[in-house]
Amino acid sequence: MTTQYKPRIENTEIPEDAICAYLEVRPEFFERHPELLDRLRLPHHTGGPAVSLIERQMEQLRDRNLRLERQLRELVGIARDNESLVTRIHGLALELLGHDGLRERLTVLEEQLRERFSVDQAMLVLFGDPATEQALGQGRFLRVISRDDPALQPFATLFESGNPRCGQIRDAQRDFLFGENTNEIGSAALVPLGGREPIGLLGLGSREAEHFNPGKGTDFLRRIAETVSAAIRLA
């Protein structure tokens, strides 16, 4: 009669990092000892009965696949949104270039901002002689103001950076742009026009608090700024 040899385990705790290091450099360990896979039991993370190591691995793989699927859906959604924005900005450019004269292009710009980009309130501020504002006849959409007017002080850092901002804006900025309609503004975008040689700014407002969300990025606002600036300068 033969007796299977069982190694005697000393009453000494083996450091966990030593076990991890051993298994990491010897991944074939469980191939040589498959019986361990059947005997090892792990507590279920939901508090249910213990499960085998293989069952836990399968559970982890399922969780990982679910996370990857969610990430993929998010990336696909972002790609679709970006494609839609590019298409709308392209359409805006075509509409602006399809009209001659500053007055006509400003009329088209206001219409396109509401129709293509779901903007509830919009204000275009241009630097120049305030006397020309009435001649352009754009109602509350256009404001022509001297570049050194004190009313522009709340936007000083915006023009210095040259970068669009969106989300919640300062009260002074909101009052200047939207006046009596400030209570209807849940989120807004401030879009400086003209880059290093600013010609004004575009203020966009939405009733929805998340419509102009800084977490979505401002690249599309830069593209709108470039398109509008070129259309105004070439008018």
CATH of domain 98-233: 3.30.450.40
- Distance (Å, whole) CA 97 – CA 227: 10
Residues 6+ apart with CB under 8 A from 226: none
Q: Where are the domains of the chain?
A: 98-233
Q: What is the reported pLDDT for 94?
A: 93
Show the DSSP H helices in the chain as ranges.
Answer: 16-25, 29-32, 35-39, 53-97, 102-117, 132-136, 156-161, 171-178, 219-233
Band (pLDDT 50/70/90 cuts) for residue 44 is low
Tokens matching residue 40 = 């090892």
Per-residue b/e over 104-113, b at no fewer than 16 CB within 10 Å? ebbbbbbebb
Report whether 228 contacts 173 (CB < 8 A): no
Q: What is the reported pLDDT for 7?
A: 53
Please write the tens of the pLDDT for every residue from 172-223: 999 999 887 777 889 999 999 998 789 999 999 999 988 898 877 788 899 9
- 1 pLDDT exceeds 50? no
- Distance (Å, whole) CA 27 – CA 19: 12
Q: Return mean pLDDT, the chain.
A: 83
Q: How far is CA 32 from CA 4, 14, 24, 61, in A?
A: 17, 21, 15, 23
pLDDT, greater one: 225 or 16: 225
Please write the tens of the pLDDT for every residue from 93-138: 999 989 888 889 999 999 999 989 889 999 999 999 888 877 777 7
Q: What is the reported pLDDT for 27?
A: 74
- 49 pLDDT exceeds 90? no
| Percent of the chain residues past pLDDT 90, beyond the cut | 35
- 224 pLDDT exceeds 70? yes
